Amino acid sequence: MPIGLLYASNHQTEEKSEEMKTMSKQRISILLAAALALAGFTAAAVQAVEPVTTTVTAVGKKNTQPPPIKKEDVELYQGKERLQVADWRKGETLFLAVLIDDSLDQNIASQWRDLRAFMMAQPPTTYIAVFYGRNGAAMVAQDFTKDHAAAAKALRITYGGFGAFSSPYLELQDLIKRLPGEGERRSILLISSGIDYFHGNFGPISPDVDPTIEHAQKANINIWTVYAPDAGHAGRGFFRRSNAQSELSEISEETGAESYFLGFGPPVNLKPYFDEISIHLNNQYLLTFEGSGGKRGRFERIRVTSEIPKVEFMTPSGVFLPKE
């Protein structure tokens, strides 16, 4: 072969070799970028899923003592989709706040013997605090303590007609912000007429009810309510009292608890109410599952079921999934 042709052939071969190396480097770069993007997407997806814990109360037939519930006994649903239960454990520690509306008729203090007995009967793992609600705030009478006798001593006669009338819902919101024990069971026992003297109970619902429910659901706090009449004239109208009781009931139901009342008069005996609440508090579990609330966080409805006969579960109507 002539020298000129041989040189041209070698030169072309070198050029093709360089082109192949360049293309190979480009392919490697593309594959590497794709792998990094996929890894980043996967990491973001993993980070988007957060553990969410909510309190579940097991209820026996006719509010009797239910049997112990194990993790494998429960099924969790979000709509029709079944979710995996990441953790299920019996709630031992409890932070229980007793919030008494200071506008209640002073005769309610004759029932404090039953309330004291209820407080003294709580397990030693329960922290109890006593608050009185007035002027839109929860005033501390006894901070959280395991000394149940000290908490019981903090009960006093309400201010009644001499007290400042307020909104029990604003007082609940104030207390929710200050409740310790995040990650453990937390409950508020509210004794109130439900009358909202700030915004009234004139419409279908007080404007402060929904925000109170949302705050409690976000904080995983159950709100148990007991109705008692207040000392104010405005609380004597049938329509307003009926609305107030409905609002108390809604707050309890939406936060995974129960509401107690019998007509519009003062309760004859609070002991049956407190006995039932004690059963519920002693049969609570902390349920953990994984969920994503998107960019802003959102509320989702969940449902807990079991094949164990004659057992039902109380849960909040909405569980808050935190934002990514």
pLDDT tens-digit profile, the chain (324 residues):
554 444 444 445 555 455 555 555 555 555 555 554 555 544 444 445 789 999 999 999 888 899 999 999 999 999 889 999 999 999 999 999 999 999 999 999 999 999 999 999 999 999 999 999 998 899 999 999 999 999 999 999 999 876 566 789 999 999 999 999 999 999 999 999 998 887 765 566 678 999 999 999 999 999 999 999 988 655 566 677 888 999 999 999 999 999 999 877 777 789 999 999 999 999 999 999 998 888 888 999 999 999 999 999 999 999 999 887
3-state secondary structure of 297: coil
Q: What's residue 162's pLDDT?
A: 65
292 is a domain residue: yes
Strand 284-291 versus strand 87-90 pairing type: antiparallel
Same domain? For 102 and 228 the reply is: yes
Q: What is the total residue count of the chain?
A: 324
Same domain? For 73 and 20 the reply is: no
278 is a domain residue: no
Task: State how far the alpha carbon of 174 is from the alpha carbons of 99, 132, 188, 283, in Å.
Answer: 11, 12, 12, 27
pTM: 0.83
Same domain? For 21 and 57 the reply is: no
Residue 39: CB atoms within 10 A of its CB come to 10
Same domain? For 142 and 119 the reply is: yes
Domain count, the chain: 3
Pick from 136, 126, 119: nearest CA to 172: 136
Q: Measured between alpha carbons, how far is 269 from 144 in angstroms, rounded to an integer?
A: 26
Q: Measured between alpha carbons, how far is 165 from 196 in angstroms, rounded to an integer?
A: 8
Same domain? For 205 and 310 the reply is: no
Same domain? For 145 and 32 the reply is: no
Range of the domain at 298: 51-89+284-321
Same domain? For 313 and 238 the reply is: no
274 is a domain residue: no
Q: Measured between alpha carbons, how far is 90 from 140 in angstroms, rounded to an integer?
A: 29
169 is a domain residue: yes
